[in-house]
Structure 1
Amino acid sequence: MKITEVKVFVCSPGRNFVTVKIFTDAGLYGVGDATLNGREMAVVAYLQEHVAPCLIGRNAHDIEDIWQYLYKGVYWRKGPVNMAAIAAIDMALWDIKGKAAGLPVYQLLGGKSRKGVTLYAHASGETIEDTLDKAEQHIKQGFKAVRLQCAVPGLNVTYGVLGDKADYFELQGSRPLPPEEEWCTQKYFNMIVELFQQARARLGNNVHLLHDVHSRLTPIESARLGKLLEPFGLFFLEDASMAENQDNYKVIRQHTTVPLAIGETYNTIWDCKDLIQNQLIDYIRVAATHAGGITALRRIADFASIYNVKIAPHGAPDLSPICFAAHMHLNIWAPNFGIQEFVGFGNAHSARIFKHGFEVKDGMAYLNDAPGLGIEFDEEAAQEYPYKRSYLPVSRLEDGTVWNW
C-alpha cells in the first residue's frame, strides 16, 4: 500500500490546528495532528518542503521504518518542529493501518487494559471561591479529579485564568504579539495553601485534586511548596520547576512526598530518561503530538513502566481532537496509564471540522470500535476558519526579568 499524497491543513476554529492527511493507492487515508502552538507555520513549512516529498511511494504499513527514517535520517534530531511533524505522520500511518485491518488502533497496540480513560477537568477562577464553584460543577458532572488554578492577588494576569478573555487571541488585541505577564513567587505562596485548605474543606476527601505550577518556581521553592501541600493529598503537582537540568528534581524529591508530574514540553524519550529511571517523577506528561506520535509515546510508556512511572498525557486546548484520539488509544492500552487531562472537545466550530464518536460520562472517556483512530477531518469546513497568527504569553518578574511562563 503506497503513499500517494501528503496534504497539510491549517485552520483556526478558536485555536490554530495543523492537520496532516496521508493518502494511499488503496483508497485509504489517515489523519495526524502537527500543531505546535505559536510556531504552527514552522511545522507546516517543514512538512511541505522537507517531509512530504520523502514519503511519496513508500509503503504506508512501514510505520517503524518511516519513523526511524524521519528521526535518524535528518541528522538534526529532536526539536519541537521536527518531532511535531514526525508525530503527525506517525498518527496518520497508524490510522491507515487500523483502517486496513478493520480494527481500532488500541487493538493493534495489544488491546484494552481498562474499560475507560479517567479524566481530570480544569477549574480556574478569579478568586478561591470562584475556583471552587467551578470545581463543584465538574464534580456534579461526574469528574473524580479536578485541577485547581486561581488568580494570584496582586498580579494582573495568572496562568490558567483568562478572566473575560476567551483565548490567547483576545489577550493579544489587534496587534498579535506575545502578551507579557508579571510573576511574583511570594504573592503566589500567599494564596496557594489557602486554596487547597478551602478545597478540602468544601470538596471533601473523595475527589482527586491537582495543581499546575507551570515551571515558575526554582527547585528549592518547589520543595517548599510540596511540603506545604502534603496535608491536602494532591493527586500530583505538575511542572513544579523546569527540568532542562533533570537533576533539579532531586532537590524537590528529597523534600516532599507529593507526587510529581512533568513532560508536556518534552519532545523525545531523552528529555525524560533520567527523571524516569531515577524515579524523580511519578507521572510523565508527554503529548503524542509533541513527542513523536504513537510510536514514540508507546516506547516512553513501556520504559516508564519499569520504574513505576505512569503516563498522564498533556491535553491542552492547543492539541487538536486528533491528538486526543491518539491519546485515547494509548491510554486504553497502556498498563501504566494514570490519568488524562481533559478540557473538552473544543467549540461548535471545531466540532464541524473534527468528527468523532468518543463519549465522556462520569469523568471517564470511552472509545468506540471504529477502525483506525476513530476521527475524521472535514477539509471543506476547515477552509472556513483560516489561520491567525498567535503567541503564548511571555512571563517577567516584577523587576522586568524574563521568567518561565
Structure 2
Amino acid sequence: MKIRSADVIVTSPGRNFVTLRITTDDGLTGLGDATLNGRELAVASYLRDHVAPLLIERDATRIEDTWQYLYRGAYWRRGPVTMAAVAAVDTALWDIKAKAAGMPLYQLLGGASRIGALAYGHASGRDLPELMDSVRAHLAQGYRAIRIQTGIPGLDSVYGVAASSAAAGDRYDYEPARRSADTRALPVEETWDTRAYLRHVPTVFEAVRAEFGPELPLLHDGHHRMTPIQAARLGKALEPYDLFWLEDATPGEDQAALRLIRQHTTTPLAIGEVFNSVYDYTTLLSERLIDYVRSAVTHTGGVTALRKLLDHAAVYGIRSGLHGPTDISPVGMAAALHLDLAVHNFGIQEFMQHSARTLEVFRTSYTFTDGLLHPSDTPGLGVELDDEAAAAFPYEPAYLPVNRLQDGTVHDW
C-alpha cells in the first residue's frame, strides 16, 4: 500500500486549523492534525514544501519507520513546528492502517482499557457570580470534572476567562487581534499582576467548594506565569480545596523548577502542553516531579510518540491528562481519545467543545455521554474532512495574546 498523495488543507471555521490528508494507491485516506496556534502557516509550509515530497511512493503501512525517517532524517530534530508536522503524518498513517483493518484505532493500540474517558470542561467568569453560573452550565452539560479560571480584581483581561465566542469553541474575541495602522494583525497585549493573582485564587476555590461540595474534581491552570516559589505558595494555599491538579505553574523549559514546588506542596501537578518530545519530560518523570502528562498528540510527534511517552510515564505511576482545547482540531482530539481508551495510565481528558462551524468542516463520530468521551467504533480515527465546507473558511491571521507586567515588562502569558 503506497502513498499516492499528501495534501495540506488550511481552514478557519472560527479558528485556524492545518490538516494533512494522505491518500494511498488503493484509495484509503488518513487525516492528521498539524495545527500550531498562531504559527499555523509555518507547519503548513513544513509539510507542503519539505515533508509531502518525501512521502510519495512510501509504504503507508511502515508507520514506525516513517516516524524515524522524518524525525532522524531531518537532522534538525524536535521543536513544535517539526513535531507537529511529524505528528500529522504519523496520525494520518494510523488512520489509514485502522481503516484498512476495519477497526477503530484503539483496537490496534491494544483494545479498550475502560468504557470511556473522563473529561473536564472549562468554567470561567469575570467575577464569582459569573463563574458559579459557568460551573452550573458545565454540570448541566454532563461534565463530572471542571477547570476553574476567574478574573482578577484590578486586571481587565485574564487568561482562561472565556468570551462568549471562545466558550462556543471559536477564536477568542481578541483574535484575530488588533490591527496596526498598516492593517497587520497583531497580538493583543494584556496586563498581569502575580501578587494579586496569588491573593485572589484561594478565595475563589474556597467559594467554589462551599457552593459545590467536596466531591466535584476541580482543576486550575497557572499558565506558566509563576516563579517556583510563587507556585509552591499557591499549591500550598490550595491544599485545603483538594484540587485534581494545578497545571503549568511555572514555565515548562526549566524542569528542575518542579523540584522546589514539589518540596512545598502536595497539590498534584500537571505540565506539558508546550512540550513536544519525551526529552522535555525525562527529569519530571524519573524524579516523579509531576502527576499528569499534559501533551497533545498534535504537538508531540503523533500517536506513535505519545504512546511511548505515556508508557514511559506509567513506569513512574504518572498518568495522562492530554491537551484538548479548541485549537486542537477534531482530528487531534479523536487521536487523543483512542489513546485515552487504550492506555492503562489514563487520568483525565481536557475537552473544550468545538463550534458548530468547526464541526461542519470536520465530521466527527466521537461521543460525550455522562461525563465520558468515547472515540466510537468507526474504523480509523472516526473523523472525516469536508473539502467544500473547509474551502468556505479561508485562513485568517490570528495570534494568542502577549502578557506584560504593570511596569511594561514582557511576562509569560
TM-score normalised according to structure 2 size: 0.96
Cα displacement (A) at 1:190? 2.3
* Residue identity in the other structure for 2:87: A
What residue is the counterpart of 1:60 in the other structure? 60
Q: Distance in 1 between matches of 2:375 and 2:253?
A: 35
Deviations along 1:266-306, one digit per CA (max 9) or x if unpaired, are 01000111101110000010000000000000000000000
Conservation of the 8 A alpha-carbon contact between 1:243 and 1:249: no
Conservation of the 8 A alpha-carbon contact between 1:98 and 1:372: yes
* Residue identity in the other structure for 1:152: I
Pair 1:32 & 2:32 matched: yes
What residue is the counterpart of 1:98 in the other structure? 98
2:381 to 373, 383, 393: 373
Conservation of the 8 A alpha-carbon contact between 1:261 and 1:281: yes
* Residue identity in the other structure for 2:386: D
Q: Distance in 2 between matches of 1:16 and 1:370?
A: 26
**What's the secondary structure of 2:223's corresponding residue?**
coil
Deviations along 1:338-387, one digit per CA (max 9) or x if unpaired, are 0000111x122111111111111111112321111011011111000000
Conservation of the 8 A alpha-carbon contact between 1:235 and 1:259: yes
**What's the secondary structure of 1:289's corresponding residue?**
helix
Conservation of the 8 A alpha-carbon contact between 1:35 and 1:318: yes
Conservation of the 8 A alpha-carbon contact between 1:169 and 1:390: no
Conservation of the 8 A alpha-carbon contact between 2:310 and 2:345: yes
What residue is the counterpart of 2:286 in the other structure? 277
2:302 to 293, 304, 307: 293
What residue is the counterpart of 2:42 in the other structure? 42
Q: 1:137 to 1:164 in 2, by over 3 A?
A: closer
Cα displacement (A) at 1:322? 0.3
Conservation of the 8 A alpha-carbon contact between 2:375 and 2:381: no
1:168 to 157, 172, 179: 172
Pair 1:116 & 2:116 matched: yes
**What's the secondary structure of 1:274's corresponding residue?**
helix
Q: Distance in 1 between matches of 2:384 and 2:252?
A: 36
RMSD: 1.1
Q: Distance in 2 between matches of 1:48 and 1:400?
A: 39
Q: Distance in 2 between matches of 1:260 and 1:99?
A: 37
Matches within 5 A, 1:218-229: 218-229=227-238
* Residue identity in the other structure for 2:220: H
Matches within 5 A, 1:200-279: 200-279=209-288
* Residue identity in the other structure for 2:240: P
* Residue identity in the other structure for 2:394: P
What residue is the counterpart of 2:407 in the other structure? 399
* Residue identity in the other structure for 1:33: D
Deviates more, 1:4-13 or 1:188-197: 188-197
Conservation of the 8 A alpha-carbon contact between 2:223 and 2:247: yes
1:358 to 338, 353, 366: 366
TM-score normalised according to structure 1 size: 0.98
**What's the secondary structure of 2:26's corresponding residue?**
coil
Cα displacement (A) at 1:169? 5.6
Conservation of the 8 A alpha-carbon contact between 2:246 and 2:270: yes
* Residue identity in the other structure for 2:119: L
Conservation of the 8 A alpha-carbon contact between 1:126 and 1:163: no
What residue is the counterpart of 2:348 in the other structure? 339
Q: 1:173 to 1:164 in 2, by over 3 A?
A: farther
1:177 to 168, 175, 186: 186
* Residue identity in the other structure for 2:116: G
Conservation of the 8 A alpha-carbon contact between 1:168 and 1:391: no
Deviations along 1:120-179, one digit per CA (max 9) or x if unpaired, are 011010102211221122123322100000011101210011446653364413441011
**What's the secondary structure of 1:266's corresponding residue?**
coil
Pair 1:385 & 2:393 matched: yes
Conservation of the 8 A alpha-carbon contact between 1:136 and 1:203: no
Q: Distance in 1 between matches of 2:335 and 2:41?
A: 22
Q: Distance in 2 between matches of 1:74 and 1:170?
A: 36
Conservation of the 8 A alpha-carbon contact between 1:168 and 1:390: no
Structure 2: state its 5+ residue gaps.
Answer: none
Q: Distance in 2 between matches of 1:239 and 1:401?
A: 21
**What's the secondary structure of 2:238's corresponding residue?**
helix
What residue is the counterpart of 2:199 in the other structure? 190
What residue is the counterpart of 1:152 in the other structure? 152
Q: Distance in 2 between matches of 1:163 and 1:24?
A: 42
* Residue identity in the other structure for 2:252: A
Q: Distance in 2 between matches of 1:144 and 1:373?
A: 25
Structure 1: state its 5+ residue gaps.
Answer: none
Q: Distance in 2 between matches of 1:146 and 1:313?
A: 15
Deviates more, 1:275-284 or 1:130-139: 130-139
* Residue identity in the other structure for 1:333: A
Q: Distance in 2 between matches of 1:347 and 1:335?
A: 31
Conservation of the 8 A alpha-carbon contact between 1:178 and 1:392: yes
Q: Distance in 1 between matches of 2:135 and 2:6?
A: 43
Deviates more, 1:191-200 or 1:175-184: 175-184
Report the identity percentage: 52
